[in-house]
Copies of this chain bind each other. A is one copy, B any other.
Amino acid sequence: MAEVPVEMSLRHGLLGLLAEAPASGYDLTRRFAEVLGPVWPARHPQIYAELTRLADEGLIEVASRGPRGRTAYRITDAGLAEVRRWLAHTETDHTLRVEGVLRSVFFWLMSPQQLQRHLQREVAFYTEMAARYRRLAEAEDRGEYGDEPPVRSLRLAVEAGIRLYETLADWARWAATRPITAPASTAAPATSADPTEPAAGTGAE
């Protein structure tokens, strides 16, 4: 209680999910993995630890105990107030941390062949993710999950997923058309003895 206010997204993510309905650490781990994974990953040890802390602080409480040690938690009034405080009265941390973009700063260290291969894989990945979120959005739009406020909120996050991954796919496609190491006339020349490529097999993969 005499603690300084801390910012920490996982804790508020858990509180937010529990604001919808009681859930166990196991449930929450799955929701994080399935829905929030790409936006906010969290493994079970971290989740269980945080739940213990939240309970100690009175922001959540045990709702029920089930079969194999299953412990479901319910959010308390204090917990609800805390998520709301976080949402409405704290600054969003705007750090992005996109490794795919960080790597692009160093593309000049790759051979044109390696770069094309890399960007193709990136495009494939981002496209697939965009499609996955698009399917989710369509299911939601078909009303498969109802249209309660929590579902409408989730729809927004899903839309962000679609748009972000589409943007990254477009970006990677565009990047593939830009000459980096070669002074270049138009696009990739495909063949060239390249000193950046190690002689023999790359080993793994």
Contact = CB atoms under 8 A, between A and B. Distances in A.
B153 A163 contact: no
**Contact residues of A: prevailing secondary structure:** helix
A104 B73 CA distance: 22
A98 B164 contact: yes
A109 B168 CA distance: 30
Interface residues of A, number: 77
Interface in A122-169: 122, 125, 129, 148-150, 152-157, 159-161, 163-164, 167-168
Given A100-B94, A163-B167, A105 B198 contact: no
Interface of A: 5, 9, 12-13, 16, 19, 35-36, 38-41, 80-81, 83-85, 87-90, 92-111, 114, 117-118, 122, 125, 129, 148-150, 152-157, 159-161, 163-164, 167-168, 170-171, 174-175, 178-181, 196, 198, 202-205
19 contacts: A9-B99, A16-B109, A81-B198, A81-B202, A84-B202, A85-B203, A85-B204, A85-B205, A89-B204, A92-B103, A92-B122, A94-B100, A94-B129, A95-B99, A102-B157, A104-B157, A105-B154, A159-B174, A163-B167
